[in-house]
Structure 1
Amino acid sequence: MFNRDTYITRRQKLTQHIQDGIILLLGNVDSPMNYADNTYHFRQDSNFLYFFGLDFQKLAGVIDVESGEEIIFGDDVDMEDIIWMGPQIALKEKADKVGITQVEPYKNLFALIDKAVSTGRKVHFLPPYRAENKLLLNELTGIAVSKLKAYASLALIKAIVDLRSVKEDQEIDEIRKACAVGYQMHVSAMKMARAGVWEQTIAGNIEGIANAGGGMVSFPVILSQNGETLHNHDHSKTLTDGRLLLVDAGAEIGSHYASDFTRTLPVSGKFTQKQREIYDIVLAANNRGRELTRPGSTYLSVHLAVAEIIAAGLNSLGLMKGNMTEAVRNGAHALFMPHGLGHMLGLDVHDMEDLGQIYVGYDNETRPVDQFGTAYLRMGRKLQPGFVITNEPGIYFIPALIEKWKAEKINTDFINFDRLEEYLDFGGIRLEDDILVTDNGCQIIGDRIPITAEEVENTMRD
């Protein structure tokens, strides 16, 4: 939690974007795993955290735009709760720490929203992503669950995206702490990776590092020798010499700010020539992406420039052919990199993704591209100082996708399908850093995790 002035200022800025009505921000509640008292680890809603700062279950925040009234709705614990949970700080005391002087029992929220709705006042709420809050909003507003997303306040969405996109200095400090934990996680994975080790052993170890850092992993660990599967959460295999191990993992620290890194390791401790050739192309793409990231540029343009680096590298190996600018224009590179270059990072590992990619990653000037591969670019908009984004190019050899394109004769002018037969068991390589857009360019946040082939091999050997 930051100091109370931080939250007061954030709420003031929010109301400057909204002309009238009531702003309703719902906190999260406990969610049962298999019965009511056995819940998943509680994770507060990031927008509620950003404006109200309270990391507790079953709270709601209301701001009356016209009167300036701010209320936290929630309930203090009773004796039964104290028996199981111990003494708890009173809600009024918690609220005071974030500059809120008025607290009300949670049940009073219903009367307030009912009065607003019945008198025709606008209730600004965000698109809900949890079932519990969908049902709650349905009960509060009378809007069918299936229509809640359509009735969510576009003005509120855009206001929050505007405020959360540019990170405060104190937020950057928190992200730097999360990156430091992420560094430990990945270096530990490098030191553990060798033939005969179970994937789950490494995954469990790096999850433990995140937990020991006072938080948790920022998303379920992706750790697999089948790196061609982009989000592979299966850790059931034993490491085998000659394979590549892709590790995509990050930490969420106690303040809930996140990191997100990917490294790819040779299980044998040394890249084969074939692996090194592909690895160095991805590394060149990563470095070029960072060089091009600066205020005023769009991340879409950076993505496409990186795609040309990848295409040119594959062309040099005989895997692609023809004019590489034309190849990228036709989306041929997406056979090998069927995802975007990166995304926003902050209180969410995919920051603000619940608000809608079209608002978070794009603007009026830069619109999504409806082409396979580039269509998955979450972040395309013009860059500003204070943005924190990921830079994560990759090359993957996905047998099913290769077979489909070959059978359907897709981009045959640019792809050497015969040569690709030699790479069907290769897997995939991704290299991901977290970067801060500065006034003049960008910088990697914290110490860079070993990334050159020599650095990775030396770390594994040590």
Structure 2
Amino acid sequence: MFSKETYINRRKRLQQKVQSGLILMLGNTDVPMNYKDNVYHFRQDSTFLYFFGIDLQDHAAIIDIDNNKEYLFGDDISLGHIIWMGPQPTMTEKAASIGVENTRPMADLATMVGDALKAGRPVHFNPPYRGENIMWLADLLGCRHNEVQSKTSLELTKACIEIRSIKEPCEIEEMERHMAVAYQMHTTAMRMAQDGVTEQAITGAMEGISMSGGGMVSFPIICSKRGETLHNHDHSNILRTGDLLLVDGGSESPLHYATDHTRTSPVGGKFTQRQKEIYQIVVDANNISREATKPGVTYKEAHLVAARVIASGLKDLGLMKGDVDEAVAAGAHAMFFPHGLGHMIGLDVHDMEDYNDTLVGYMDEMERSSQFGLAALRLGRTLQPGFCITNEPGIYFIPALIDQWKADGTNADFINFDKVESYKDFGGVRLEDDILVTEDGCRILGERIPITVDEVEATVSEGKK
């Protein structure tokens, strides 16, 4: 938990951005895996964590804008719970630790919300993403569960996005400190990229490092030699010398801030010439787009910088043709790079996307594109100092997509389909760093995980010793 003053100041800022009524925030509860008492590892709601800091089940909070009061709701645990869980702080102690003066038993939450609704006062809440909280809100609001989403507060959501987008020094320090765990996860995966090793063994090693470093993985690990599938969670393959292993994985810090990195390694320690050529294009796209990432620039333009580097490099290899700028404008590069350059990262690996990824990534600044590839760009808005984002260009050879575009003649003026056919067994390359936008540019958070051809080959080769 951060200092008490951190949470007090965050709530004050939020209160200043919402005109009237109640701000209602629900924490998360335990979720059963296969029966009631066997639960998934608890993860608190990120908005509740950000403003109230309590990382325990079964809490809620209200900020009464009109009367300038804050309330923490929950129940002190019974002796039976203490036997199973050990001593826990009281509600009064928890409230005091975050600067909240008023506590109430959970049973009082419905009364307070109900009284506000009867008086015609607005009750603001963000879009819920868990079924339990959707049903809880339906009970509190006196509506059907399928009506809850339509009652969410755009005013509150925009206020939360505005505040949470700029990371405070304490947040940056927490993220940067945990980058050491991410470094160990990915260099371990590189060293394990040897002939006969299973994808599952590498995945398990990475998960163990994450847990021993203080937290669970920030999302299910992607670890596959079939890297052309962007979110490939199958870990059933056995690695063979000459394969490319794509590993996209992250860890949560003890305060639940995420890391998110991707590296692609040659199994056995040496890239083939063809692999090295594609890999170097992605390295260039990563570095050049990062140089374009600075305050006042839209992240959409940084994405297009990466797209032009990729299109130019593929043209040099004979896979694309024609004018590079025209090809990117037409979206031809997206057959090889069908996703966005990156996204915000913080308390969520895709930070705040429970609110709405278009709202977070674009606010009111621009329309999100509908063009294939560019439509997948989660972040397009103007960058500001304090933004923490990922930078993850890639090149993929997706047989089904290649076949479809070839059959339809899609972007045939810019793609040499005959040459592309010989790459359909290639797989994919993605390289991802976590970066902080600074006052005059940006910088990589933590020690950079090996990324150059020489660095990666040397790290993989260490696993043979």
Please give the range of the TM-score, normalised by the shorter of the 2 chains.
over 0.9
Whether the aligned pair in 1 keeps the contact of 2:268 and 2:460 (CA below 8 Å) is: no
Instruction: Tell me how far apart the structure 2 counterparts of residues 123 and 397 of structure 1 sit (CA, whole Å).
Output: 49
- 1:186 is aligned to 186
Instruction: Tell me how far apart the structure 1 counterparts of residues 420 and 461 of structure 2 sit (CA, whole Å).
Output: 32
SS in 2 for 1:33: strand
SS in 2 for 1:353: coil
Whether the aligned pair in 2 keeps the contact of 1:48 and 1:54 (CA below 8 Å) is: yes
Cα drift, residue 239 of structure 1: 0.5
Q: Does 86-95 or 257-266 show the bigger shift?
A: 86-95
- 2:336 is aligned to 336
Measured against aligned partners, the alpha-carbon deviations of 1:334-385 in whole angstroms (never above 9, x if no partner) come to 1001100000000000000001112211132332111000100001000000
Measured against aligned partners, the alpha-carbon deviations of 1:277-308 in whole angstroms (never above 9, x if no partner) come to 00000000000111000000000011011101
Cα drift, residue 230 of structure 1: 0.3
Whether the aligned pair in 2 keeps the contact of 1:367 and 1:380 (CA below 8 Å) is: no
Instruction: Tell me how far apart the structure 1 counterparts of residues 143 and 446 of structure 2 sit (CA, whole Å).
Output: 46
1:449 equivalent to 2:449? Answer yes
Instruction: Tell me how far apart the structure 2 counterparts of residues 201 and 41 of structure 1 sit (CA, whole Å).
Output: 22
Give the gaps of 5 or more residues in structure 1.
none
- 2:76 is aligned to 76
Instruction: Tell me how far apart the structure 2 counterparts of residues 357 and 410 of structure 1 sit (CA, whole Å).
Output: 28
Cα drift, residue 11 of structure 1: 0.3
Percent of paired sites with the same residue: 58
Instruction: Tell me how far apart the structure 2 counterparts of residues 341 and 158 of structure 1 sit (CA, whole Å).
Output: 23
- 2:37 is aligned to 37
Whether the aligned pair in 2 keeps the contact of 1:433 and 1:444 (CA below 8 Å) is: yes
- 1:128 is aligned to 128
Matches within 5 A, 1:1-400: 1-400=1-400
Whether the aligned pair in 1 keeps the contact of 2:308 and 2:325 (CA below 8 Å) is: yes
SS in 2 for 1:137: helix
Amino acid corresponding to residue 79 of structure 1 in structure 2: L
Give the gaps of 5 or more residues in structure 2.
none
Instruction: Tell me how far apart the structure 1 counterparts of residues 53 and 165 of structure 2 sit (CA, whole Å).
Output: 17
Whether the aligned pair in 2 keeps the contact of 1:332 and 1:411 (CA below 8 Å) is: yes
SS in 2 for 1:355: coil
Q: Does 121-130 or 356-365 show the bigger shift?
A: 356-365
Whether the aligned pair in 1 keeps the contact of 2:268 and 2:461 (CA below 8 Å) is: no
Instruction: Tell me how far apart the structure 2 counterparts of residues 421 and 90 of structure 1 sit (CA, whole Å).
Output: 65
Q: How many residues align?
A: 462
Amino acid corresponding to residue 408 of structure 2 in structure 1: E
Instruction: Tell me how far apart the structure 1 counterparts of residues 143 and 100 of structure 2 sit (CA, whole Å).
Output: 29
Instruction: Tell me how far apart the structure 1 counterparts of residues 213 and 68 of structure 2 sit (CA, whole Å).
Output: 39
Matches within 5 A, 1:396-411: 396-411=396-411
Measured against aligned partners, the alpha-carbon deviations of 1:105-156 in whole angstroms (never above 9, x if no partner) come to 1111000011111111000011100000000000000232222222110000
Whether the aligned pair in 2 keeps the contact of 1:182 and 1:210 (CA below 8 Å) is: yes
- Superposition TM-score, scaled by structure 1 size: 0.99
Amino acid corresponding to residue 400 of structure 1 in structure 2: A
Coordinate RMSD, CA, aligned:
0.7
Whether the aligned pair in 1 keeps the contact of 2:262 and 2:430 (CA below 8 Å) is: yes
Cα drift, residue 92 of structure 1: 1.1
Instruction: Tell me how far apart the structure 2 counterparts of residues 203 and 161 of structure 1 sit (CA, whole Å).
Output: 33
